[in-house]
Structure 1
Amino acid sequence: MAAVMHNFKPYPSDRDVGMAAEALVTAHPCLKELGSVSGWYGWKIFLKFKMGNYRTKLARSGCVEVAVNSGKRSINNPDKDHPHSKIKRARRAEVNYLPNFPRGENQTSLEEMRIQILQEVEKSEKNLILIEKLMQMTFALRRQEIVQENPLVRDFLEKWPALRMESQVSAEFQRITNVNLRNQFFSELDRHTLRLIALYRQKAARTGKVSEALREILRICDLQEVQDVHMKRNAALRALPLYLREEDPEFFKSWSAEEVDRPDITNTPVAIVSMVTEGTPSEVDLSPASTAILVEGDFVISNIPRMADSFALLFGLMYVLHLDYPKKLINTFTFIQKVLMGLDDGKPLKPCLLNLKNDLLLRE
């Protein structure tokens, strides 16, 4: 049972273990506990201990995903971290969180492949097929580095410059979650766009700062000459944080190409920057000339044609670079994770997100 459960999750939650215990008793009724309300509560406690013992054996055998959390405080080492603190485990439905090296490969051989990727990316005519193959082979090396060492984004991308390519961000996200980033993001966004805009209009009809800001976005959207799918996507994503009552003035930035001195971005953790070629940049621009993704004061990807593409790539980078969601936009990115991307981590949705999800499921 412990081995089967580990194949799904190395660190199952209390709810997960309860479901496994219930399935065990359902498959084998002779194991049902007499006098117990559920009939499987004792098995649940038993399986928790078994999972802990199984993880200990795997850690001793060299399984990286559980070995990373070994060596905590004990009687012989009282100065180390508490056993239950700073546990490194999948928290956002990652499937391949911390894999082992491919069979037959080691640190040295994978490092040679990394240098080969570095040389290939610097070429004017890149061999994209070779880069994809080498990035697939070195996936475990990157995950161990980003999870265990937690380096600065700039330093990590200097070692792995292929992750500045849009195609490799999508590929890396799929390696981590087994979900196609662009297909899933845009198919679900297009499914809910009209309903989202209808909900924005309902809230914009009220009074208050949030309603006023939503009215401004909808007004700009209605004034656009071209009302295509891209414009509607941009409007739906641009107004989403406001609808969820989240505001981060540092997240959406607008720069004019005519400006010589760019604003200070040193202390900006995460932002989507819209570049304007003509006129003065406004706070809300739904059709910028191009967009860019800013992470820890560094332009990770530039010259992205549309804001919705930047949103999708930024969400992918959250997983690829092992970043936390921006504190002021947690609900926005949680909505994208659980509702749009379908990456459920087993935790219940907050009331505001649950209400929005239920509203989207209602017919207009």
Structure 2
Amino acid sequence: MLLLFFPHSLPFSLLFYYWFQLSAEFSRIVTKDLLESFLDGLDALVPGVLQMYGEAAASGRRVRLSSILSCLQKEDTNQNKRAAVLLGLPCYLAEDSSDIIRMCDAHGETLDVLMSGMQVGLLIGHEGPLHDAFPLDVFNVALVIEEKIILHDLRDVSTGFAMLLGAIYCLNLEYPRNMKYSFEFLQRVVMNIKPDQCSARIHGLRNKMLRYRM
């Protein structure tokens, strides 16, 4: 059983220091506020991306997107819309997120088991069995690098993704192979960091999204 999902082995002051250092380094490199820029960019894209997911789900090309979108029929909050966009992205791009993004029942497996094989990723904590595609009530998100938690008590999925992207960028890590296009989308399109350097696949996706803004 997990104790409050993550044991508080790191004092709050140290957690805050790591958060501050990561955010400050990102701002130094990119001259953007990490969390603010990520959320602003994400919110601008949410309506169009959800519409794009809906069309893909309706065509039968991405069945799992249907279950992700159905979660919003239960709780159509801004946080859940953000989570649906982020968690649905690898599905839309036909990528495997299982080694990077993991859902965790507070009373389920131990941390060692949960983090096994995670070189970089997120643990998303929820209470009780998960009956939906993603938890509608997240109480803790942790950033994992090399099977170790370096940040926890992140308040929601979108904050977790922002810090994960920031860590990859600041530590000069490669995109996780199984989600390289998802992370490229987050960097080039959501954060608008060097958008002219995106791959042909993400360039095509960005152009496709333009019609959802018209």
Same fold by TM (over 0.5)? yes
Candidates 98, 104, 113, aligned match of 1:255: 104
Q: Work out the CA distance in 1 between the residues paired with 2:185 and 2:164.
A: 14
What do the CA deviations read for 1:18-49 (whole angstroms, capped 9, x no partner)?
xxxxxxxxxxxxxxxxxxxxxxxxxxxxxxxx
Any conservation in 2 of the 1:266–1:296 contact (CA below 8 Å)? no
Give 1:212's aligned amino acid.
Answer: V
TM-superposed CA distance for 1:296, in Å, is: 0.7
* Matched residue count: 202
TM-superposed CA distance for 1:164, in Å, is: 5.8
Q: Work out the CA distance in 2 between the residues paired with 1:245 and 1:299.
A: 27
Q: TM-score, normalised by structure 1?
A: 0.51
Candidates 66, 73, 84, aligned match of 1:222: 73
Q: Work out the CA distance in 2 between the residues paired with 1:249 and 1:176.
A: 30
Q: Comparing both structures, which one devotes a greater share of its residues to strand?
A: 2
Give 2:31's aligned amino acid.
Answer: N
Any conservation in 1 of the 2:184–2:198 contact (CA below 8 Å)? no
Candidates 293, 300, 310, aligned match of 2:143: 293
In the alignment, which residue of structure 2 is the partner of 1:234? 83
Summarize the alignment of residues 165-184 of structure 1 with structure 2, pairs less than 5 Å apart: 165-184=18-37
TM-superposed CA distance for 1:287, in Å, is: 3.2
Q: Percent identity?
A: 25
Candidates 54, 63, 71, aligned match of 1:201: 54
Q: Work out the CA distance in 1 between the residues paired with 2:159 and 2:84.
A: 13
Summarize the alignment of residues 128-143 of structure 1 with structure 2, pairs less than 5 Å apart: none
Give 2:162's aligned amino acid.
Answer: A
Give the 3 Å change call, closer, same or farther, for CA 292–164 of structure 1 in structure 2: farther
Any conservation in 2 of the 1:291–1:305 contact (CA below 8 Å)? yes
What do the CA deviations read for 1:107-148 (whole angstroms, capped 9, x no partner)?
xxxxxxxxxxxxxxxxx796xxxxxxxxxxxxxxxxxxxxxx
Which structure would you say has the larger RCO, counting Cα contacts within 8 Å and 6 or more residues apart? 2
Give 2:182's aligned amino acid.
Answer: T
TM-superposed CA distance for 1:314, in Å, is: 0.4
Any conservation in 2 of the 1:256–1:280 contact (CA below 8 Å)? yes
Give 1:215's aligned amino acid.
Answer: S
- What 5-or-longer segments of structure 1 have no aligned partner? 1-123, 127-160
Alignment RMSD: 2.4
Summarize the alignment of residues 291-330 of structure 1 with structure 2, pairs less than 5 Å apart: 291-330=141-180
Q: Work out the CA distance in 2 between the residues paired with 1:348 and 1:357.
A: 10
TM-superposed CA distance for 1:357, in Å, is: 0.7
- What 5-or-longer segments of structure 2 have no aligned partner? 1-10
Any conservation in 2 of the 1:269–1:295 contact (CA below 8 Å)? yes
